[in-house]
């Protein structure tokens, strides 16, 4: 395996099947093992493929689709394939087209949410929704719950909107309506009764707004199929072949959905690995895979144990870790490939030292093993860990990208523009209306909004509809004018939507709503970058046929969707996002107790097993080289704290690892600083105390001594010019937030950053 040449990314990022001539079924079986072939050629009836990581599950699924098409067993529109992310769906479609040498039009390859959305769009009326209904994301669901709680006078400090939202979500994932939930907890504990009241109001609120949350997409699809025999049987007849990847992470509703759809033809093929089930917090239920054989007693089961991805060393480590889980079926992955090199372990002083080592390790992957940047990945447990790593990547000139995708769409100006777009397609969308009714300012403060809300409730209207009745609702003066102007603008935009492309519509929104003018008047660097972002949004919209398509896709942008292996940059991502991917070189960072495993697993065996599966997922992403790191101290929640190495490190047999760190720090490096806080001196913090470690010694840049003040202009070696937004801490712990003209806001540790006065 180590002999592969990774300088050409196409060698690993897409599996080559050179010998496949156009739709020759036999060629599709080339390069498969006997068990893989059995799965690909399986003739109808339920099929369960259980297999460990990297054993070719996704490859088998893709080949099977191609095979069904090439042998004429299925026509494209008779296939429904479900993947975990939109990105994986695009990839699978691309591969199938490549394999069969044509465009398999009409095939549904999508996530559960997208497939449900598609069915609901076509039959929204069956459930009493209007066309163009909005999808509320998790944050919008929570803000709606919070508003309801405030309206009915509940103390949101004692009962948090987040916990109520997740209780509602959990209920939905059990297919419990507000009514069911109320009945179940009628005489139960008071908190549950509270939740059931809020749940009822929440459902009404969404109905009025012609909106669904993410859970509703799944639940409503099931309700739709239950409610309309005609719709159900048309889909049952249409989808002669159902295939589901990552089945271990389906929840009860998703399971119900595929079971219903498969009832007619029973050609259902699910693949999964119970050791990779990592979405329990989203109600995923690994029992779905374990009970598949009970649900479909005539199911054929195929086991795959040969791994084609990783070296034996990496597999041995993965096996050793996952073995510690008690609730699993024992299985052992093997490879016919090389033993491979040892797993490298670095014990860092703190997170900065760790980040520096990570950068040097990536450079080593590149120079010693000829791996391209795009073929490497850094994983961490929580998003917050990326910041320090990012800073170091920039300093070390390592091209990188953070794979989370949501960032761009979380920006205020983007959310606002999208809110207008959503209001154009769904005039009743309450969350969007509230978001932008006073953006830019139209004199519609809280009081005016409360009046509109009350009027809406009294007349059984949605908040958005009530705006037109601003006068009747008791608004006057500036507020009244503002409301009417808002309503008129929306009317105008809706009228334009018939003639303009999605791209033109985004431009129109920026222009007509006053967003653009507000930013132009501001004329600050920040305003300019916001305008650029809006331009970027318009470019994104240009890829869609209709505004509705665009808005829909935006609602479903999943985390890993922005991962692009061809990008020539190292990928940074959380372990959850890494599922299903593979990289020749992988570094897993932050292997510390309460970081990974996460603190919530400390006193909970089930959570701990879930964390261990996550670790197994992380390790098994690596093809040839795996490196691990932990830090002895880490700044968390603003405090510099000592950290204990993760138990997962101890679970990997020591002979598989090579400790590449320098000797551990001596206690004398710990000193008290001016405020009496126990910390490390600057030498320690910068890794100099390690002597000849893998991390190059770094001198203070001296920026902490500049005495910078908020508002001052500064210049950074890489980011260029910017302005200081805030300063905190002193001496080597002095940090600044700087808003750069071109790169936006960055958090910097002054002693380590090449920053000077402009």
- Catalytic (active-site) positions: 57-58, 245-246, 276, 621
User: Can you tell me whether residue 324 is helix, strand or coil?
Assistant: coil
Near Mg ion by CB under 5 A, which window of 52-60, 394-402, 420-428, 713-721? Answer: 52-60
DSSP 699-753: ---SGGGS---TT-EEEETTTEEEEEEEEES-GGG-EEEEEETTTEEEEEEGGGS
Rounded CA gap, 425 and 497, in Å?
9
Indicate which of Mg ion, ligand ATP, none lies near residue 687 (CB less than 5 to 8 Å, by partner kind): none
In the complex, minimum distance from the CB of residue 32 to ligand ATP, in angstroms, rounded to a whole number: 5
What's the angle, vertex CA 395, arms to CA 388 and CA 573, rounded to 5? Answer: 40
Residue 39 binding: pick among Mg ion, ligand ATP, none (C-beta 5-8 Å cut-off by kind): none
Radius of gyration over alpha carbons of the chain, in Å?
28
Q: What part of residues 236-275 is at the interface with ligand ATP (CB under 6 A)?
A: 273
Taking the least distance from each CB to Mg ion, the nearer of 57 and 733 is 57
CB 661 within 8 A of CB 345: yes
Nearer to ligand ATP, 59 or 369 (CB): 59
Choose the one of ligand ATP, Mg ion, none that binds residue 272, judging by a C-beta under 5 to 8 angstroms depending on kind. Answer: none
- Residue 395, contacted partner among ligand ATP, Mg ion, none, CB below 5-8 A by kind: none
| Among the residue ranges 29-37, 489-497, 688-696, 712-720, the one whose residues contact ligand ATP (CB under 6 A) | 29-37
Q: Which stretch binds ligand ATP (CB under 6 A): 52-60, 112-120, 343-351, 414-422?
A: 52-60
Taking CB under 6 A as the criterion, the residue among 35, 58, 267, 319 binding ligand ATP is 58
CA 609 vs. chain centroid, Å, equals: 21
CB 46 within 8 A of CB 268: yes
Is residue 15 a contact point for ligand ATP (CB under 6 A)?
yes
- From the list ligand ATP, Mg ion, none, which binds 232 (C-beta under 5 to 8 Å, kind-based)? none
Note every long-range contact of 536-540, with CB atoms under 8 Å and residues 24 or more positions apart, other chains counting. 536/408, 537/414, 537/417, 537/418, 537/506, 538/503, 538/506, 538/507, 538/510, 539/503
Cα torsion at 412, 415, 417, 422 (round to 10°)?
-160
Choose the binding region for ligand ATP from 48-56, 67-75, 159-167, 440-448 (rule: CB under 6 A): 48-56
Regarding 309 and contact with ligand ATP (CB under 6 A), the answer is: yes
- Contact between residue 703 and residue 755 where contact means Cβ atoms under 8 Å apart: yes
**Residue 424 touches which member of Mg ion, ligand ATP, none, C-beta under 5-8 Å by kind:** none
Among the listed ranges 47-55, 167-175, 288-296, 409-417, the one in contact with ligand ATP (CB under 6 A) is 47-55
Among residues 64 and 733, whose Cβ is nearest to ligand ATP? 64
Residue 311 binding: pick among Mg ion, ligand ATP, none (C-beta 5-8 Å cut-off by kind) = none
β partners of residue 722: 714, 740
Q: Of all residues in this chain, which one has the CB nearest to ligand ATP in the complex?
A: 56
Distance in angstroms between the alpha carbons of the first and the last residue of the chain: 51
Task: Please state whether 246 falls in left (phi above 0), alpha (psi between -120 and 50) or beta.
Answer: left
Which residues from 562-621 bind ligand ATP, rule CB under 6 A? 580, 582
Among 51, 206, 739, 748, binds ligand ATP (CB under 6 A): 51
With CB under 5 A as the contact rule, which of the stretches 58-66, 124-132, 449-457, 485-493 interacts with Mg ion?
58-66
Q: Which of 54, 585, 687, 693 binds ligand ATP (CB under 6 A)?
A: 54
Number of Cβ atoms within 10 Å of the Cβ of 449: 20
Task: DSSP for 460-494, please give it.
Answer: T--HHHHGGGTTTTT--HHHHHHHHHHHHHHHHHH
Residue 322 or 657 having the CB closest to Mg ion = 322
Pairwise CA distance, residues 619 & 604, whole Å: 23
Q: Which stretch binds Mg ion (CB under 5 A): 176-184, 334-342, 475-483, 574-582?
A: 574-582
Contact 626, 317 (CB under 8 A): yes
Cβ neighbours of 642 (radius 10 Å): 12
146 touches ligand ATP by CB under 6 A: no
**Interacting residue with ligand ATP among 23, 31, 175, 504 (CB under 6 A):** 31
What minimum distance in Å lies between the beta carbon of 109 and ligand ATP? Answer: 15
Query: Which 575-634 positions form the footprint of Mg ion (CB under 5 A)?
Result: 580
Q: Which of 32, 290, 698, 706 binds ligand ATP (CB under 6 A)?
A: 32
Partner in contact with 340, chosen from Mg ion, ligand ATP, none, beta carbon below 5 to 8 Å by kind: none
Judged by beta carbon, residue 25 or residue 580, the one nearer ligand ATP is 580
- Examine residue 248 and tell whether it contacts Mg ion (CB under 5 A): no
- Tell me which of 58, 196, 529, 686 binds Mg ion, using CB under 5 A: 58
Query: What CA–CA distances, in Å, run from 196 to 89, 248, 569?
Result: 37, 30, 48
Q: Which span sits near ligand ATP by CB under 6 A: 27-35, 448-456, 478-486, 689-697? A: 27-35
Helix (H) or strand (E) holding 656: none
Binding ligand ATP by CB under 6 A: which of 35, 36, 589, 646?
A: 36
Which lies closer to ligand ATP via its Cβ, residue 53 or residue 209?
53
Between 325 and 501, name the residue whose CB sits nearer to ligand ATP: 325
Q: Which does 141 bind (CB under 5 to 8 A by kind): Mg ion, ligand ATP, none?
A: none
Stretch that binds ligand ATP, among 50-58, 194-202, 209-217, 564-572 (CB under 6 A): 50-58
Site string for ligand ATP, 151-170 (x = CB under 6 A): --------------------
Q: Which of 35, 48, 59, 173 binds ligand ATP (CB under 6 A)?
A: 59
Q: What is the total count of residues that contact ligand ATP (CB under 6 A)?
A: 19
Q: Does 57 bind ligand ATP (CB under 6 A)?
A: yes
Q: Give the containing element (helix H, strand E) for 171.
A: helix 161-173
The CA distance from 97 to 100, in Å, is 5
Instruction: List, in order, residues 6 or more apart from 650 with CB less than 8 Å away.
Output: none
| Distance separating alpha carbons of residues 267 and 317, to the nearest angstrom | 37
DSSP assignment of 568-593: SSEEEEETTTTTT--EEEEEE---BT
The helix (run of H) or strand (run of E) holding residue 36 is: helix 34-41
Site for Mg ion in 187-246 (CB under 5 A): none
* CB 193 to ligand ATP: min, Å: 43
Say whether residue 335 binds ligand ATP (CB under 6 A).
Answer: no
- Residues 316 and 333: their CA atoms lie apart, in Å, by 8
Considering CB distances under 5 to 8 angstroms, the limit depending on partner class, which of ligand ATP, Mg ion, none binds residue 36? ligand ATP
**Residue 335 CB, nearest approach to Mg ion (Å):** 16
User: Smallest distance from the beta carbon of 89 to ligand ATP, in angstroms?
Assistant: 14
Question: At its nearest, how many Å lie between Mg ion and the CB of residue 51?
Answer: 9
Q: Token pair of 83, please?
A: 């993947």
What is the phi/psi pair of residue 671, to 5°? -140, 165
Contacts of 152 (CB under 8 A, 6+ apart): 197, 198, 201
Q: Are 52 and 274 in contact (CB under 8 A)?
A: no
The least CB distance from residue 57 to Mg ion, in Å, is: 5
Give the 3-state secondary structure percentages of the chain, helix then strand then coil, rounded to 5: 50, 15, 35
Residues in Cβ contact with 528 at an 8 Å cutoff, skipping those fewer than 6 apart: 519
Closest CA to 265 of 243, 282, 287: 243
Supply the minimum distance, in Å, between the C-beta of residue 52 and Mg ion.
11
Helix (H, G, I), strand (E, B) or coil at 192: helix
Residue 536, number of CB atoms within 10 A of its CB: 14
Q: Residue 616: name the closest of 273, 271, 290 by CA.
A: 273
* Interacting residue ranges for Mg ion, rule: CB under 5 A: 57-58, 580
* Interacting residue ranges for ligand ATP, rule: CB under 6 A: 15, 31-33, 36, 51, 53-59, 273, 276, 308-309, 580, 582
């Amino acid at each position: 395996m180590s002999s592969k040449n990774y300088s050409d990314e196409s060698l690993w990022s897409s599996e080559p099947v050179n010998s496949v001539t156009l739709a020759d079924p036999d060629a599709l079986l080339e390069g498969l093992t006997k068990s893989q072939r059995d799965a690909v050629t399986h003739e109808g009836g339920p099929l369960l493929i259980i297999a460990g990581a990297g054993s070719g599950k996704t490859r088998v699924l893709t080949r099977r689709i191609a095979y069904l098409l090439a042998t004429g067993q299925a026509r494209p529109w008779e296939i429904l394939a479900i993947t975990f992310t939109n990105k994986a769906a695009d990839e699978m479609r691309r591969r199938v087209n490549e394999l069969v040498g044509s465009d398999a039009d009409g095939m549904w390859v999508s996530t559960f949410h997208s497939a449900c959305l598609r069915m609901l769009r076509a039959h929204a009326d069956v459930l009493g929704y209007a066309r163009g209904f909005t999808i509320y994301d998790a944050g919008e669901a929570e803000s709606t719950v919070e508003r309801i709680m405030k309206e009915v006078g509940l103390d949101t400090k004692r009962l948090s909107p987040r916990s109520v939202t997740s209780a509602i979500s959990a209920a939905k994932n059990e297919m419990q309506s507000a009514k069911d939930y109320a009945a179940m907890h009628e005489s139960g504990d008071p908190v549950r009764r509270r939740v059931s009241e809020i749940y009822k109001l929440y459902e009404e609120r969404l109905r009025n707004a012609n909106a669904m949350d993410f859970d509703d997409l799944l639940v409503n699809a099931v309700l739709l199929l239950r409610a309309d025999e005609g719709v159900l049987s048309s889909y049952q007849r249409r989808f002669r072949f159902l295939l589901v990847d990552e089945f271990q992470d389906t929840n009860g509703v998703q399971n119900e959905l595929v079971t219903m759809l498969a009832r007619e033809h029973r050609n259902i093929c699910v693949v999964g690995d119970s050791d990779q089930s990592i979405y329990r917090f989203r109600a995923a239920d690994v029992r779905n895979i374990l009970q598949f054989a009970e649900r479909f007693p005539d199911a054929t089961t195929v086991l795959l144990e040969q791994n084609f991805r990783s070296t034996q060393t990496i597999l041995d480590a993965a096996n050793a870790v996952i073995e510690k889980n008690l609730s699993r079926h024992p299985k052992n992955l093997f490879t016919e490939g090389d033993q491979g090199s040892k797993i490298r372990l670095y014990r860092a002083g703190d997170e900065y030292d760790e980040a520096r080592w990570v950068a040097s390790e990536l450079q080593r992957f590149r120079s010693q093993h000829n791996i391209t940047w795009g073929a490497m990945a850094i994983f961490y447990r929580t998003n917050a860990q990326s910041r320090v790593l990012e800073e170091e990547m920039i300093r070390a000139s390592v091209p990188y990208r953070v794979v989370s995708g949501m960032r761009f769409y979380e920006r205020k100006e983007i959310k606002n523009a999208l809110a207008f777009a959503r209001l154009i397609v769904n005039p009743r969308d309450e969350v969007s209306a509230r978001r932008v009714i006073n953006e830019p300012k139209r004199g519609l403060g809280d009081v005016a909004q409360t009046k509109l809300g009350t009027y809406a409730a009294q007349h059984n209207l949605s908040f958005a509809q009530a705006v037109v009745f601003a006068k009747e609702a008791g608004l006057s003066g500036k507020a009244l004018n503002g409301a009417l102007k808002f309503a008129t603008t929306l009317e105008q935009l809706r009228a334009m939507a018939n003639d303009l492309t999605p791209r033109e519509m985004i431009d129109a929104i920026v222009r007509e709503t006053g967003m653009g003018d507000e930013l132009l008047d501001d004329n600050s660097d920040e305003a300019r970058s916001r305008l650029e972002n809006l331009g970027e949004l318009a470019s994104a919209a240009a890829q869609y046929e209709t505004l509705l398509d665009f808005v829909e896709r935006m609602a479903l942008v999943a985390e890993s969707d922005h991962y692009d292996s061809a990008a020539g940059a190292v990928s940074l991502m959380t372990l959850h996002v890494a599922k299903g991917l593979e990289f020749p070189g992988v570094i897993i960072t932050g292997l510390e107790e309460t970081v990974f495993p996460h603190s919530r697993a400390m006193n909970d065996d089930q959570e701990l097993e879930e964390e261990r599966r996550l670790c197994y997922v992380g390790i098994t992403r690596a093809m040839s080289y795996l490196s691990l790191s932990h830090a002895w101290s880490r700044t968390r929640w603003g405090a510099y704290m000592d950290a204990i190495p993760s138990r997962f490190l101890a679970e990997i047999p020591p002979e598989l690892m090579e400790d590449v760190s320098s000797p551990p720090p001596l206690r004398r490096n710990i000193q008290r600083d001016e405020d009496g806080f126990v910390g490390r001196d600057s030498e320690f913090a910068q890794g100099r105390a390690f002597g000849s470690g893998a991390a190059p010694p770094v001198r203070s840049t001296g920026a902490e001594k500049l005495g910078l003040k908020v508002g001052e202009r500064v210049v950074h070696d890489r980011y260029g010019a910017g302005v200081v937004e805030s300063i905190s801490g002193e001496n080597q712990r002095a940090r600044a937030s700087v808003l750069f003209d071109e790169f936006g806001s960055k958090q910097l540790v002054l002693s380590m950053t090449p920053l000077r006065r402009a």
